[in-house]
Structure 1
Amino acid sequence: MAKQTAPVKKNETITLTFEDLTHEGNGVGKINGYPLFVPYALPGEAASVKVVKVNKNFAFGKLLKVHKPSPDRVKAPCNVYHKCGGCQLQHMSYDKQLKMKRDQVKNVMRKIAHLDHIPVHPVIGMEDPWRYRNKVSIPVGEKDGELITGFYQKRSHRIIEDMETCVVQDEVNDRSIEAVRRIASSLGIKAYDEKTHRGVLRHVMVRTGQKTNETMIVLVTRTQELPHKKELIKELTETYPHVKSIIQNINDERTNVILGKKVKLLWGEEYIYDMIGDIKFAISAKSFYQVNPPQTEKLYKQALEYANIDHNDVVIDAYCGIGTISLFLAQKAKKVYGVEVVPEAISDAKKNAKINGITNAAFYVGEAEKVMPWWTAQGLKPDVIVVDPPRKGCDEELLKAMINMMPKRIVYVSCNPSTLARDLCILEDGGYATQEVQPVDMFPQTGHVECCSLLVRKDK
C-alpha cells in the first residue's frame, strides 16, 4: 500500500480559504480534506500562507497576506500583539470572540461529554474587554547598561523591548512597572541573568485592588538582600501614594518558576484589599485571587444561582482557595466547608472570613479527594457541592467522593471546557444529570473561557 503524503510541503506558499477556528483561535483551512492551522486567520478569509510545519495529519502555516478580510477582522490596538503571544484574539471582533468561545464549549459538550441536548448559554462578556487584569508579572533584563522590562516573545526568553504598555492590564500596573524599572535602573540595581545565574532583579509583580485602588509591588530577586532598597522604597512611596505594600520575594533557584518560597515585607502592609461584590478580600504576594474581579462577580453570582441554597443547606467548596466562592455561599447557607491543599490559601480564607464577620464557614487544609471521604465517615452530608478545580480538572477519586456524598446539586466551575466535559461524563455515570452550562469570558482577547455548570441528582 502506497504511503500517503501530505498535499503541502514545508516552506511552500499557498492560497487558502479558511472555514473554521480551533479552540485557541487559529484559522482552519483545508486542502483535499487535509487541515492547515494558521494563527490570526478568520473564517471566510482567503489568504496567502507559508507552510511552516508539516505532520502526517495536519500542518501549520504563517499568515502572509489576507486577500479577502472577514467583517470580523479588527485592528489590534497593541503594538506588540504579534510578538507577545499573551493575547491570541485581538484581531477578532469581541462579538466574534464570544461566539467562538460558546462554540468551543458546545463542541466539547457534544464530542467529549456526548451531551448534545444540554443548553450552552451565550457567553457572559464584558462591556469593556480591555484593561481588566489586576495582576502582572514582568521579567527584567538589561540592555546597554539600562534595565528593560517586558513580556517574553512567543516561544522564547527574549524580552520584548518596545513594549510600552499592555492593553489588558490595569493602567496602574503599567505605571508601577515603569516606575520600578526607571528608579531601579537609576540606582544601578542589576537585572538577573539566567545564563550566568548572576544579577539581582528577576521579575516585578504588581497587584492592584480595583475597587480599593491599593497597589502591592513584589520585587523578585536572586539575592537575599536588595541593594539600595531604602532609596527605591522612598522614591516609590513618595511619588506613588496608591502603593500600600512593597514585598521582596527571594528566588535563588535556576528555574522558570517566578516566585520563590521566601517572602520579606520591605514596606507597608503584608496585604492589600479588594472587593468582589460586597465581600472584602485580603490579598498577599502569593495569594491566588482572580485577575478579573468584575467578571468573577458575574461568575460567582451564577454559581450561587445554580447552587440554589437556603439557610438550612450545608455546602462543601472543594478547591476553595482563599475562600472567594465559599464566602459568597456562606451568606445564604447554614454552613460551608472549604478544603484546599495550599496551607497559605487556607490561612488567607480564615482571615477573609474574619474580615467579613462570617462565622458559618470552616476551612481545612488537605487534598479534597482524601478529606471528603473522611467527612463522610464523620457523618457530614452536604446538600450542595461546589467545585472549582485547576485546568487539569478533578481528580477521579474526588469525583467518586462527590458521587458517594449524594448531594442534591453539584455546581462545577471550570477554566478548561475539555476537562469539564470529561468530568461531566463521570458524574453523569454516577447518577447526576447536567442541566445547563453558562460560559463566562474571564480573559477577553485570549482563547480561554470559564464555565459554570449545574448538575442535579437524577433521583431528585
Structure 2
Amino acid sequence: MSRNKRSGTVTILPELQIIDIAEEGKGVAKADELVVFVDKAVPGDIVDVKVVKKKKNFAEAVIEKLHTASDLRTDPFCAHFGTCGGCKWQHMQYDAQLHFKQKNVEAALQRLAKIDTSGMEPILGSAENKYYRNKLEYTFSNKRWLDQGDMDGVEGLEMNALGFHVPLRFDKILDINHCYLQAEPSNTIRNHVRAYALQNGLSFYDLRNHEGDLRNLIIRTSSNGEVMIVVVFAYAEQEKVDGLMADLQQNFPEITSLMYIMNQKKNDTIFDQEVITYAGRDYIFEEMNGLKFKIGAKSFYQTNSLQAHELYKITKEFAGFKGDELVYDLYTGAGTIANFVADSVRQVVGVEYVPTAIEDAKFNSQLNGINNTLFYAGDMKDILTRDFIAEHGKPDVVITDPPRAGMHADVVERLMEMEAEKIVYVSCNAATQARDLAILKEKYEVSRIKPVDMFPHTQHVENVVLLTLIK
C-alpha cells in the first residue's frame, strides 16, 4: 500500500481497490491488515478514500477520488441518490446487485451456520426494479435537509420538507421531488399535499419540539389500481384537517380510501391510534393468484406485490404439498401465505403477534371462501406451547416468516420438539436466519436454498430455505 497522506487530522488512503461488497451495502477494500468499508463504492473501483471512522481492525471511509470506475458501475437514476437513505445500490448494474446479494446470503449461511451452499439455487431477480413498492411513508418536517448547493442561498430558503429521513439524522428530512419506488399517483399526490400545505398555512411537524399540524403521509397502492391515502396530523385544528381532506377528495377521484389520524405521541407508530375514514372504504384490495386480500391502514402486506407472488410460489413449491398436510404458518401477518397455500393442504393454523393482522387474516379467508384456516393472535413464544400443539395436532409442515430479528429462542426450541417433517423458513435477514439454522440443523438437513430479490437497488434480500427432518 502507498504511504498514507495526511491533511490536518484527515487520513487519506490512496488507490485502494474495492474487492467486495459488505452486507450493509458498502464497498470493501484492504489496506495492509485494515479492512476498509467505503460508502458508495462498487467492486472493481480504484479509489482514494477519506477515513471517517477508525477502529482497531477496520475503518469506514468515503470516496475522495475515483481513479478507475468499475465495469459494474452505472449512472444513478435518482436526483436524491447519495443523500436519501433508500436505493443505495442504484449506481451498480442490476445483474451485479443480484450477484452480490446471492454471495452475501451464501457467506452468512456458511460463516454463521456452517451450511454447505454448493447446491444453492440462483437468486430470483425482480421483474420490475423501479416503481415496485405498494407502500411509502413520508414525513413532514420544518427542518429540511440542506445540501451544499442550498447553503449558498440559505436566507429566505423554504425550510419545510415532505420526504424521507436523512440517515443518522432523525430530525432532518430530505424534501423529495420524485421517488422511483412507487408508481403514480404517488409522486403527484405527495407534491400536491406539500403545495397545499404551504399555500394554506398548515405547519410542518417539528421533530425536536413535537409541535405542528402535519406529521406523516402514507400512500398505499394495489396492483388493481386502488389507492389509499392516510394523512397523519399532530396538532391541527379540525378546520385544517377537513380542508386538506376535501381538497384531496376533489382533486384525486381515484383515491379509494381517504383517511386521517391524529397522533400527538412522541413517536410515529400508528398501531395504537384511531384511523378516521373521511371518504371511501377503510381498506383497499390487493389481488394475487385469484385471491383477494383486504389491506387496511395498519395491515402488513409485502411491499413488492409482484415479487411477493413469486416468493409465495417458491414457498409453496419448497413445501411440496400432497393435499393432506396440517400446516403451521408462523408470523402469518394478514394470513397471506396461509390463504395462498390453503387450497393445497388439509388445514392451516396461523399465529401472529398483531391482533389487527389476525382480524385481516380471518376476513381474507372469509372473503375468498376459504374454510380450512385457523388464526391466533399473541406472542409466538407464548402461543406455540405444548398444549397448543396437543390441541391442534403436530404439523406436517411449518412455514415461518419472522421479522428481521429472526425467531425467539423458545420458538426454535419448540420447532425442535415438534419435529415436523418439513420447515420452510422465509427470511429477510440471512444473518438471523443462519443463527436459527445453526440450531435447527441438529435435527434437520438443508435441502434447498433460494434467495429472492424483493428490494432492487438495496442490499436487502429475502431467502427461502427448505429444512427436512433427518430420519
Which bin holds the TM-score, normalised by the shorter protein? Answer: over 0.9
Give aligned-pair identity as a percent: 36
The reply to whether residue 111 of structure 1 matches residue 111 of structure 2 is yes
Q: Distance in 1 between matches of 2:198 and 2:280?
A: 23
Unpaired runs of 5+ residues, structure 2, are 145-156
Contact residue 250 and residue 259 of structure 1 kept, 8 A: no
Equivalent pairs, count? 451
452, 457, 460: which one pairs with 2:464? Answer: 452
SS at match of 2:208: coil
Q: Distance in 1 between matches of 2:92 and 2:439?
A: 35
Q: 1:148 to 1:176 in 2, by over 3 A?
A: same
Corresponding residue for 1:3?
none
Q: Distance in 2 between matches of 1:369 and 1:195?
A: 37
Contact residue 44 and residue 71 of structure 2 kept, 8 A: no
Corresponding residue for 2:258?
246
Corresponding residue for 2:78?
78
> What is the root-mean-square deviation of aligned Cα atoms in Å?
1.9
Corresponding residue for 2:152?
none
Contact residue 48 and residue 65 of structure 2 kept, 8 A: yes
Displacement of 1:118 in angstroms is 5.0
273, 277, 280: which one pairs with 1:265? Answer: 277
Displacement of 1:203 in angstroms is 0.8
291, 311, 315: which one pairs with 2:323? Answer: 311
Q: Distance in 2 between matches of 1:65 and 1:289?
A: 42
Q: Distance in 2 between matches of 1:257 and 1:85?
A: 20
Q: Distance in 2 between matches of 1:151 and 1:111?
A: 34
Q: Distance in 1 between matches of 2:200 and 2:211?
A: 18
Moved over 6 A (4+): 6-9, 143-146
SS at match of 1:70: coil
Return 289-298 or 25-34, whichever deviates more.
25-34
The letter for the 2-side match of 1:189 is: L
SS at match of 2:402: coil
Provide TM-score, normalisation by structure 1.
Answer: 0.94
Corresponding residue for 1:409?
422
Displacement of 1:18 in angstroms is 1.4
Q: Distance in 2 between matches of 1:94 and 1:450?
A: 16
Displacement of 1:126 in angstroms is 1.6
Contact residue 109 and residue 434 of structure 2 kept, 8 A: yes
SS at match of 2:164: coil
The letter for the 2-side match of 1:13 is: I
Q: Distance in 2 between matches of 1:223 and 1:308?
A: 53
Return 197-206 or 249-258, whichever deviates more.
249-258
TM alignment of 1:19-418, pairs within 5 A: 19-117=19-117, 119-142=119-142, 147-156=160-169, 157-161=171-175, 163-209=176-222, 211-223=223-235, 225-255=237-267, 257=269, 261-373=273-385, 374-378=387-391, 380-418=393-431
Q: Distance in 2 between matches of 1:193 and 1:259?
A: 21
Contact residue 252 and residue 260 of structure 1 kept, 8 A: no
Contact residue 249 and residue 279 of structure 2 kept, 8 A: no
Provide TM-score, normalisation by structure 2.
Answer: 0.91
SS at match of 1:399: helix
SS at match of 2:344: coil
Contact residue 292 and residue 364 of structure 2 kept, 8 A: yes
Displacement of 1:124 in angstroms is 0.5
Q: Distance in 2 between matches of 1:136 and 1:44?
A: 33
SS at match of 2:192: helix
Contact residue 203 and residue 220 of structure 1 kept, 8 A: yes
The letter for the 2-side match of 1:164 is: N
Q: Deviations over 1:382-417 (max 9, x none)?
A: 110100000010111111212222211100000000
The letter for the 1-side match of 2:361 is: A
